[in-house]
Structure formats: structure tokens, C-alpha cells
Amino acid sequence: MFDSYRHSNPSLLLGLCVLLSVLSGGGCVPKAESDVVVYSALDQEFAMPILDAFERTTDHDTGVISKFDVESTKTVGLVNQIIAEQKAPTCDLFWNNEIMHTVRLQKLGLLAEHDWNVDGGYPRDMMSSDGTWCGFAARARVLIVNKKLLTDPAMYPTSVAELADPKWAGNCAMARPLFGTTATHFAVLREINGHDETLDQLRAIEKNAKILSGNKQVALAVSAGTVAWGLTDTDDAIIEKDQGFPVAIVYPDQASDQPGTLRIPNTIAILKNSPHPIAAGKLADYLVTPETEDRLAMGDSSQLPISRGSKFPPRVLPETPIRWMRAPFESAANNWETWAKHVQAIFE
């Protein structure tokens, strides 16, 4: 029965697995030992063509069974499921479209070590210190500017810190920093600038900027001219630019005394005690390659390759080189729950 659904309806197969697991009181292992179960927070439209291509490279000897969660709970929902299943994992490989929750799984001891085959110059902040995850194909945290409201590039903001500048009061925007890349961004800044200093900055931003529900809403507000500029991700910003709206993309904090622009990568991690570790390792090696990064760079989200072997410069990048922040992701995940409560108290 499982084989008949494996390629035609992988989501149904995973649902059957969960149902049988509940009925039997045990875990569910697909019939084919070479199958690999992937939980993916990256949108299905971007991930599935790549997962299908991996199956073809194995002549379908290794089948991919994928689970994609709904948009509203995406990353958190998948992470919570991995935690709930830790005693009898169903998932073999977690493809996350950000990093902080992957680091949380690392700190919970739920990820397996893997020998990542990356080039010698791979940025150290894009790999875990213990070999349990690897980042690739990033989004950058950028400023999106409405060129009709700010007609001269000399007027453009150049730093994330300007969200707290009174000269922009009510005319700039940021996503609520409780989830996603905005939460990750300020957890990283906490490690760079200090705990109390970052909370003070967030209080000033809350009073000065328009706080919206997400990065997409920030990009839409800027392209519509509701605000002059905002902080968002490159994938949301490039959509507005591709659709012909009068927007510019600014990579912030490029001065020598500033931290640089933050990249938040996709991450790949193999679950500890996963049912199919060998197949998971093969898929992990396939995903963390320049070729996969180039596919994501060419797509609608224009993701940013990390590897020096990438051959396709994404259209979202400017012609001038970017100073990237060296992000302390692992320490930024420390005391996450306590930190999140402090931030929530500001933005409740």
C-alpha cells in the first residue's frame, strides 16, 4: 500500500503513517528502507522540484516523503512535531527556511552529526559548531524604500537602527519581532550589542515605527506608499520590485563601525535516531550544493548562495560587494524562551 502512494501522494502516505502510529502505539517506518521523510518549512512550490530532482538522481531507488505545514504555523509547527516525536522520530531530515529553531533543536540534542561536504572558505556562521546542521541559500535582512516618497538616494536610510530615529516617526515599518526572521534578527543583535541595549532599542522602535504582522506586510506597505521604508527580507522585497513598484533595496549597516547585513540561511539537519539515516545523509549532501543554491537563486525568491562554487548571481544582489554580518546564531538561541517573553512584553 505504501509503495503505491509513495510518488503519487507523499502527503497522504505520511498521514497514513501517523494514523497507523497512533493505532499501533508505535512509530511508522515506510516499507522501502531507502525512503527518506523530509519535514520542510520551505514553501512546497520551491522545495518539491528539488526533492523530485533528487529522486531522479537515484533512479527512484530512494523515495522522498515530504511534509509541508500550513503557512500560519509553518516552522514552529514542524519543530513542535519533531520535539513531540523525539522518542520515536518519524522525520529523517528537517529542511528549515530559517535557522533559529534549527539551533533550538540542536541545543535540545535532537540532531545528528554529519560530515558536510562544503568548500574550505565556507562561512563559519553558516555551519554548526558540532556538525549537526548546515546553512545554505540565504535571505538577507534589507531595507525596502519607496522611491516616490524618497526621491534622492541620499535620503535613504542606511541602518536598521534608524527604525528608532524620530525623524522617521510613523513613516517606517517593521514586522512584530516575535516570530520568524525578525525575531532571529534581534536575538542576533542582542548578542552583538548587549541584552539591555537591544531591549531599549526595541522599545524605541515600538514607539517610532509602524509594527506590522509580517515581513510581507512591510514590503506591501512600502510599495503602496503607506510608509517610506521598512525592514524586511530579500524574498519579500524582490517580489515588489519584480512587479514594477517604485521600490529600492538597501543592504544596511555597511559602514566599518557597523555590523554588516544579516543573512538568514535555509538549514538542513538530520534527526538523531532517524529511521533512515543513510538515505537522509544522501539527501543532505544533495541539497547542500552550489547547484541547489543556484536553483533557488534563479527562482522567484532570488535566494543568496553561500558557496563559492555557485555560478548564478541572484538578481536581488547589487553590483557592489556586500559586507555580511558574522552572526552568532548559536549563542543567540540561548535563553530563547526568556528573551521572547521580554520582547513580547514590549510588543503585546
pLDDT in tens, the chain (348 residues): 333 334 444 444 444 444 334 333 444 444 445 799 999 999 899 999 999 999 999 888 899 999 987 654 557 889 999 999 999 999 999 999 989 999 999 999 999 999 999 988 899 999 999 999 999 999 999 999 999 999 999 999 999 999 999 999 999 999 999 988 999 999 999 999 999 999 999 999 999 999 999 999 999 999 999 999 999 999 999 999 999 999 999 999 999 999 999 999 999 999 999 999 999 999 999 999 999 999 999 999 999 999 999 999 999 999 999 999 999 999 999 999 999 999 999 998
Whether the Cβ atoms of residue 192 and residue 185 lie closer than 8 Å to each other = no
What pLDDT, on the 0 to 100 scale, is given for residue 59? 87
Strand partners, 270: 93
- The pTM (predicted TM-score) of the whole model is 0.87
Q: Which pLDDT belongs to residue 276?
A: 95
3-state DSSP helix/strand/coil percent for the chain, to nearest 5? 45, 15, 40
> Around Cβ 337, how many Cβ atoms within 10 Å?
7
Whether 2-138+265-313 and 139-262+334-347 share one fold: the answer is yes
Residue with cell 537522509: 280
**SS3 sequence of 278-338:** HHHHHHHHHHCCHHHHHHHHHCCCCCECCCCCCCCCCCCCCCCCCCECCCCHHHHCCCHHH
Residue 334 CA neighbour count, 13 Å, CB half: 7
> What residues does each domain of the chain span?
2-138+265-313, 139-262+334-347
Sequence-ordered alpha helix ranges (H) in 115-245:
180-193, 195-208, 215-224, 234-242
Q: CA–CA separation, 34 vs 31, rounded Å?
A: 9
Give the integer Cα–Cα distance in Å for 151 and 77: 42
196 vs 190: CA distance, rounded Å: 8
Assigned CATH class of 139-262+334-347: alpha beta
Task: Select the CATH number that applies to the domain covering 2-138+265-313 from these four: 1.10.420.10, 3.40.50.720, 3.40.190.10, 3.40.50.300.
Answer: 3.40.190.10
Alpha carbon distance 19, 13 (integer Å): 10
Are 259 and 251 a contacting pair, CB within 8 Å?
no
